[in-house]
Amino acid sequence: MDIHVVAPLASPAERSAVDAVLDPEIGPPVSGWRGGARTTADGHAARGGHEARGRRDLLLPALHAVQERIGWISQPALGYICRRLTVPPAEAYGVATFYAMFATRERPPIVAHVCDDIACRLSGAEETCAELERTIGPAGTPAATADGTASTWLRSPCLGLCERAPAALFTVAGETPRAFEAAPVDAIGIAARLRGASRARGPEADVRAIVPQAGDPALRLLARVGRIDPTSLAAYRASGGYEGLARALEIGPVATIEEVTASRLLGRGGAAFPTGRKWAAVASQPAQPHYLVCNADESEPGTFKDRVLLEHDPFAVIEGMTIEAFATGASRGYLYLRAEYPLAATRVAAAIAAARSAGLLGPDVAGSGFAFDIELRRGAGAYICGEETALFESIEGGRGEPRNKPPFPVEVGLFGRPTAINNVETLVNVPLILRDGAAAFAAVGTEGSSGPKLFCLSGHVARPGVYEVPFGTTLRELLDIAGGAPGGRTIRVILLGGAAGTFIGPEALDTPLTFEGTRAIGAALGSGVVMVFDETDDLVGTLRRIAAFFRDESCGQCVPCRVGTVRQEELLARLAAGRPRGSTADEVGLLREIGQAMRDASICGLGQTASSAIESALRVGVVTV
């Protein structure tokens, strides 16, 4: 007996959104089984489908296409994607529901994603959300706009705009979908944009509000920010761009890796792994092909340095990737960008296209005979996808669930092949190393932490933004460059490294900002977050927000992390309400036990660091509960 599942068909708009992504890659549907019109030739059994099944990596782009066209992903639309890619519907549903920016229940096409994360809280995000609740209704309530289109607002974790907090991201679904940010913004501004008063992107923020040092001739990583047109390849080349690649092509892959190793460059994505060693490991793998990934997922609350590089110096990221591909023997690279960065996506896509038309990407890079190209892939709202193996799963069309290691990505990475993955800032250092030489690079900074470093300053500091200083600069010196605490207030505590980082007190202000210096005081540089809190800030509320962040973002694979992040949040709520279970000391002991269990038995860094900021706040005594 044939079983026919009768379900409503995907609408023409849903189908055309999916087709626009899939047809150029796998061709139009060849039978009714694959989503085309049914004919008698289709028969009673599905045959073939292997090619489409081999392109499971197109699942996220197809989901994005429907989300952006309609504003949510209906069951028929999901079913259509499944037929076209030969993906079991249960699996596709599991993927669609994993990512916060995909909606699988009907939702208005215009959405304001209002950041309520730690830096925005310091600038009144909770008050903004309360005002929106009062004027529009609870988060998710549909509201009518001037032209009759429905809109709504939702709370969001950090949008990577902390230097201009409080921030919101607007997504507008339709035939020409748009996304744009507004920062700083208040409830009136959000409501006005939702009503349709101003749905277009406003003027771009003044670069000085993002990089207060812009224009300083001593800058290296930020040298081009605010000085050259980031959309112009000619301007990039005139400012020394592509000299690093020219040198790499001249000296060859082995010497290129030697140069990067001699520079002592350590990865800037948080783990501080030696970049040269990673490249050498990939280059030596016999398995082919080799892949390259640029990690631009930047979702650690308080981090926005990679966004600034991608928006203001996109060619430097592409040049860094091209050098890395040449050195490690990769002919294909993926730049995985968080979905919350629409301007960066536009700039990077344009830069890739410009480099390709100039012959700096493609089958014969710069006439050298070496082939390399880059594909831009977008995340969909999942912090865990910054973890390298979760990121591979996401590109491959799965839930962003980290893999057990070993094997490490250098052996078994993207699509099961040797893969070199590096952070955006790491890659922007690479052209400098090749152009100026390893010795010049290593002369900056310290023995253990060479080169310049970007820091993301936010919270109660006079001039928030991205700052570049040599490694070894003390925290006090960095804060002085940023103008210190505003209006004569006193610094009470600093969060180093983001939600996964550590709180330190003012007594640690003379700590040199290096990997080794922060390690010595039991902290970590992480992704370069320096968030400043003064005596007026609600630190217990901040800790509860951090706990809620990890509870939301845990992928749920490991029990200690899945349960521990929930228990940690509940415990903080009890303490904040003054209703400890047993004594406060019992609760603090339990918190430490939960943290230890997560550190010992979680398979990835999320679970291993989910309690570190909270435990450190108790340790330095700035939060007494």
Ligand X SMILES: Cc1cc2nc3c(=O)[nH]c(=O)nc-3n(C[C@H](O)[C@H](O)[C@H](O)COP(=O)(O)O)c2cc1C
Q: Which residues bind ligand SF4 (CB under 6 A)?
A: 384, 402, 554-558, 561-562, 602-604, 606-607
- Whichever of 151 and 419 has its CB closer to ligand X, that residue is 419
- Whichever of 167 and 499 has its CB closer to ligand SF4, that residue is 499
Q: Considering CB distances under 5 to 8 angstroms, the limit depending on partner class, which of ligand SF4, ligand X, ligand FES, none binds residue 167?
A: ligand FES
Alpha-carbon distances of 310 from 317, 549, 553, 613, rounded to whole Å: 7, 25, 24, 28
Q: Considering CB distances under 5 to 8 angstroms, the limit depending on partner class, which of ligand FES, ligand X, ligand SF4, none binds residue 602?
A: ligand SF4
Residue whose C-alpha is closest to residue 83's, from 59, 108, 60, 103: 59
- Whichever of 123 and 429 has its CB closer to ligand X, that residue is 429
- Asked whether the beta carbons of 100 and 171 are under 8 A apart, the reply is no
- Whichever of 301 and 397 has its CB closer to ligand FES, that residue is 301
Residues between 272 and 311 with contacts to ligand FES, criterion CB under 6 A? 301
- Whichever of 322 and 557 has its CB closer to ligand SF4, that residue is 557
Q: Considering CB distances under 5 to 8 angstroms, the limit depending on partner class, which of ligand FES, ligand SF4, ligand X, none binds residue 152?
A: none
- Whichever of 552 and 586 has its CB closer to ligand X, that residue is 552
Which residues neighbour 568 within 8 Å (Cβ) at sequence distance 6 or greater? 547, 550, 551, 591, 594, 595, 610, 611, 614
- Residue 471, φ and ψ in degrees, nearest 5: -55, 140
Residues between 137 and 196 with contacts to ligand FES, criterion CB under 6 A? 158-162, 165, 167
Distance in angstroms (rounded) separating the CA atoms of residues 463 and 470: 19
- Whichever of 342 and 607 has its CB closer to ligand SF4, that residue is 607
Q: Considering CB distances under 5 to 8 angstroms, the limit depending on partner class, which of ligand SF4, ligand X, ligand FES, none binds residue 388?
A: ligand X
Region near ligand FES per CB under 6 A, out of 96-104, 111-119, 193-201, 384-392: 111-119
Burial (CB count within 10 angstroms: exposed 0-12, middle 13-18, buried 19+), residue 370: middle
Which residues are bridge partners to 407 per DSSP? none
Q: Considering CB distances under 5 to 8 angstroms, the limit depending on partner class, which of ligand FES, ligand SF4, ligand X, none binds residue 556?
A: ligand SF4
DSSP secondary structure of 474-526: BHHHHHHHTTSSGGG--EEEEEESSTTSEEE-GGGTT-B-SHHHHHHTT---T
Distance in angstroms (rounded) separating the CA atoms of residues 247 and 436: 10
SS3 447: coil
- Asked whether the beta carbons of 479 and 515 are under 8 A apart, the reply is no
Among 52, 81, 103, 120, binds ligand FES (CB under 6 A): 120
- Whichever of 136 and 410 has its CB closer to ligand X, that residue is 410
Interaction site with ligand X (CB under 6 A): 267-271, 273, 295, 297-300, 384, 386-388, 421-423, 426, 604-606
CB of 330 to ligand X, least distance (A): 15
Region near ligand FES per CB under 6 A, out of 114-122, 194-202, 216-224, 553-561: 114-122
- Whichever of 221 and 555 has its CB closer to ligand SF4, that residue is 555
Element (DSSP H or E) covering residue 595: helix 584-601
Tokens of 260: 């990067």
Tokens of 156: 């969001």
Contact call for residue 615 and ligand FES (CB under 6 A): no
The DSSP symbol for 165 reads -
Distance in angstroms (rounded) separating the CA atoms of residues 242 and 315: 9
Distance in angstroms (rounded) separating the CA atoms of residues 193 and 187: 10
Contact call for residue 543 and ligand FES (CB under 6 A): no
Q: Considering CB distances under 5 to 8 angstroms, the limit depending on partner class, which of ligand X, ligand FES, ligand SF4, none binds residue 298?
A: ligand X
The residues binding ligand FES (CB under 6 A) are 115, 117-120, 158-162, 165, 167, 301
